[in-house]
Amino acid sequence: MSSDDVYDTAGDAARRRPSGRDDNYTEGSDGVNPRRMAAVDTDGGPRPSTGNSSRRQRRSSGNERRASGSADDGTQDIEIHVTRPAYSVSQLRKDMSYQPKTKRGVVSSTKEYLMSCCQCSASRMWSLLLLRLPVLAWLPRYSFRRNLTGDVIAGCTVAIMHLPQGMAYAILAGVPPIHGLYTAFFPVLVYAMLGTSRHISIGTFAVTCLMTGKIVGELSTPTGEGVISKMFYSEHINETYIPSSVLEQSAESVGLLRSQNLSVDESIVAGLQRKDFSPIEVAAAVTLMVGLWQVVFGLLQLGQVCVFLSDMLISGFTTGAAFHVLSSQVTHILGINVQRYNGPFRLVYTYIDVFKLVPTANLAAVVMSAVCIPILVFNNELIKPRLKKLTNIPMPIEMIAVVMGTAVAYFSNLEDKYQLNVVGDIPTGLPSPKLPQSQLLTSVLVDGLVIAVVSYVISFSMAKLFSIKHDYQVDATQELYAGGVGNIVGSMFLSLPAAASMSRSLIQEGVGGKTQVSSLVTCGGILIIIYVAGPLFRTLPNCILASIIIVALKGMLLQVYDFLKMWKQSRVDSLQWLVTFLVTVLVDIDYGLGAGVVMSVLLLLMRNNSPAVKQLGWVRNTNIYVDIKKYKSAVLLPGGRLCRVAGSLHFANCDTFKKKLASATGLDLTQLVAARKSRMKQQDKTNSLPSENNNETNNNTEDQAYHQQVITEVSLNNPNSTDSIQGPSTAGHRVDEG
């Protein structure tokens, strides 16, 4: 905008208030309070004002009654009229002694910044330590009397939820169930020390486990080296040579090959070498990469990166991912083995195989799933709402299902009689720390970035929600550090990528959790389960865990209603949801997230590059200006045009703004610009003449010149009009719709 654009000195308070009105005004349907009068320009001149304001108090009589419901009990209505001038930017700077900030060179600015950053003292070091290790800030102030009981109850309740969810989501990630319990311990323990949210529950999450399972399926073999040896014998023998690279990769394979004097093709060996990793090795490498990405985001202060992922994008993406989770559990529900596909349209290929194998479904798995799912749904829909009226502690229905399913499978010997797939042996104790395979880090670099963004956005959104509800602050950068360090430590103990779970977080907050101590109590409960209760669930059927996952997906699947609601409000935003959802379901998860981000950026650019320009009309006998196309009582200003621009103006939308302004007003902007330049030349000639020493005379002269400019502009809009300017002065008004 040019330096002569109008500068409103009334401030934000005047902008928020509706325009003033006369004494005969009766409140209409817009719902504007008649007791609050907006700022009204009564002096269009450029001279400074002392900000005089007058208050008028009027006692309402028994015969007078406003539409807003003013009482007849003698109360007073206070009307405030604010009188202030309209300034141009150049005139404001001149009259108010504007002093711009001194511009410094790059060298001096860099030197000053480094000096401020490198200052060191005991107080600064302690502040930094408290910022990066929040446990030192909240633990000394912990109130055992107010918080301990609620934290212990919440911690024990969430620990019970972690057992079935951790084991089920580990199966979803393609690793043994015990690694889901490791994820419920190590990252949770780190987050309790470094995190700033008091209520979120860190651990396994369906979407991140599904994305991890996709990478595990691409880069690993089902059981490691033994499978490679079998493949060497059954499929890829050509009796030509044994490459020396194989001798370094798999001792078991080499021994079998030597005993039979067999050889394989070099290209097949290269492919097998890339897959010579167990599923948990791949999952640990993914977890490490996710943690490294989140720490890098923290160092770059990218804590607010989630603002670029809109609610519609997240809703569409998680709903599409929920369909992938549901599809992955159908095979466990039916007790069938389906080939695992990777890449675009894998969901379509999976369902084709599922329909082909339905006649071969395992009867025991189908029956147990048909019993378990209705019981879980009945509890969630009928029992849980009624039980919540009596107590905040929920019924651990998932834990009951796990115990009952394990007992039935054990005493009925379903594994041997019906070949029912069960969890199998669960080791006790904690694993020894071990760095993930470094060869895998480059292969999971991009996938780790996607999972890091998704897990952080979900976790920080939950943390922000609870912080607003309970009135405390969460640090976005520190949340990145807490999640990143938690995943790095977890990767050394064979954990999966951790994120906040909505269901567990709501339970933790609902049963009375107050601080991070509840997470420490949860870790204690998980530790007991790992050392004591793990082997008891060896006969737990996989179909029971799949049933728990499917029922838990209800909340994400019902996000389809977000699309239906948004369709009535904004077709463009609903289109973003639809594109993200369809690409996620039909193509793949990472493609869906990428399509959603691209769609979000395009919508942002489109809206920023095309500001809305509305022509305002004048409501007679008032100082109110509203959109003339929406309000029938509004009329055009006699001899003038008044517009409102909803959006920022910059070089990218300059041409678009001019076209919209000309379209809204019907004016010839070229003629107006030429007239303005001519007027500025005349003003420069006038200013060059000798001026009077009397300041009052100068002010009057400037006022007359300013008003003459306004009249000239209006006459240019309608050169043949002989109407005088009626109604309130519009010079320099910034008026918002009521």
Comparing 591 with 190, the larger pLDDT belongs to: 190
Question: Per-residue pLDDT tens for 477-510?
Answer: 999 999 999 999 999 999 999 999 888 888 888 8
CA dihedral 574, 575, 579, 581 (to 10 degrees): 20
pLDDT in the model for residue 419: 87
Kindly tell me if the per-residue pLDDT of 386 is higher than 80.
Answer: yes
Residue percentage of the chain with pLDDT more than 70: 75
Kindly tell me if the per-residue pLDDT of 627 is higher than 60.
Answer: yes
Q: What is the DSSP string of 6-60?
A: EE-TTHHHHHHSPPPB-TT----TT---TT-PPPEEEE-SSS-----EEEEEEEP
Kindly tell me if the per-residue pLDDT of 192 is higher than 90.
Answer: yes
Contact criterion met (CB below 8 Å) for 354 and 338: yes
Strand-pairing partners, residue 626, are 617
Q: CA 62 → CA 43, 65, 175, 310, 494, distances in Å?
A: 36, 8, 80, 54, 80
Tell me which residue of 20, 22, 1 sits closest to 10, measured CA to CA: 20
Average pLDDT rounded to a whole number, residues 136-146: 90
Residue 638: band (very low, low, confident or very high) from pLDDT cuts 50, 70, 90: confident
Residue percentage of the chain with pLDDT more than 90: 21
The pair of three-digit structure tokens given for residue 183, joined into one six-digit string:
């994820």
pLDDT in the model for residue 609: 81
Start-to-end C-alpha separation, the chain? 25
* Low-confidence winner among 112-126, 239-253, 598-612 (lowest mean pLDDT): 239-253
pTM of the predicted structure, to 2 decimals: 0.67
3-state secondary structure of 359: helix
Contact criterion met (CB below 8 Å) for 61 and 103: no
CA–CA dist 210, 411 (Å, integer): 32
What DSSP designation does 500 have?
Answer: E
Residue 625: band (very low, low, confident or very high) from pLDDT cuts 50, 70, 90: confident
Kindly tell me if the per-residue pLDDT of 440 is higher than 60.
Answer: yes
pLDDT in the model for residue 76: 66
Comparing 275 with 333, the larger pLDDT belongs to: 333
Distance of CA 25 to the CA centre of its chain: 45
667: left (phi over 0), alpha (psi -120 to 50) or beta: beta
pLDDT in the model for residue 135: 92
C-alpha atoms less than 13 angstroms from C-alpha of 725 in its C-beta half-sphere: 16
Question: Per-residue pLDDT tens for 17-49?
Answer: 444 444 433 333 333 333 333 333 333 333 333
Residue 427: band (very low, low, confident or very high) from pLDDT cuts 50, 70, 90: confident
CA–CA dist 22, 624 (Å, integer): 11
CA–CA dist 118, 263 (Å, integer): 63
Contacts of residue 250, Cβ cutoff 8 Å, sequence gap at least 6: 225, 228, 229, 276
Domain regions of the chain by residue span: 150-220+277-605, 612-675
Distance of CA 490 to the CA centre of its chain: 25
User: Is residue 47 packed enough to be buried (19+ CB in 10 Å), middle (13-18) or exposed (0-12)?
Assistant: middle
3-state secondary structure of 627: strand
Contacts of residue 40, Cβ cutoff 8 Å, sequence gap at least 6: 19, 20, 81, 82, 83, 623, 728
3-state secondary structure of 499: strand
Kindly tell me if the per-residue pLDDT of 719 is higher than 50.
Answer: no
- Looking at every residue in the chain, the average pLDDT score rounds to 76
pLDDT in the model for residue 74: 58
3-state secondary structure of 626: strand
pLDDT in the model for residue 689: 64
3-state secondary structure of 202: strand
Question: Per-residue pLDDT tens for 662-677?
Answer: 888 777 777 878 888 8
pLDDT in the model for residue 690: 58
pLDDT in the model for residue 398: 86
Residue 254: band (very low, low, confident or very high) from pLDDT cuts 50, 70, 90: very low
The values of phi and psi at residue 75, to 5°, are -70, 155
CA–CA dist 253, 663 (Å, integer): 77
Kindly tell me if the per-residue pLDDT of 57 is higher than 70.
Answer: no
Q: State the pairing for strand pair 642-646/87-88.
A: unpaired
The values of phi and psi at residue 669, to 5°, are -65, -30
Widest distance between CA atoms in the chain: 114
Query: Any idea what the Cα angle at residue 215 is, between residues 592 and 298, rounded to 5°?
Result: 75
Kindly tell me if the per-residue pLDDT of 120 is higher than 50.
Answer: yes
pLDDT in the model for residue 40: 33
Average pLDDT rounded to a whole number, residues 441-467: 89
Comparing 542 with 647, the larger pLDDT belongs to: 542
Residue 428: band (very low, low, confident or very high) from pLDDT cuts 50, 70, 90: confident
Q: State the pairing for strand pair 6-7/87-88.
A: antiparallel
CA–CA dist 193, 483 (Å, integer): 11
pLDDT in the model for residue 222: 57
The pair of three-digit structure tokens given for residue 543, joined into one six-digit string:
């179909």
Contact criterion met (CB below 8 Å) for 477 and 303: yes
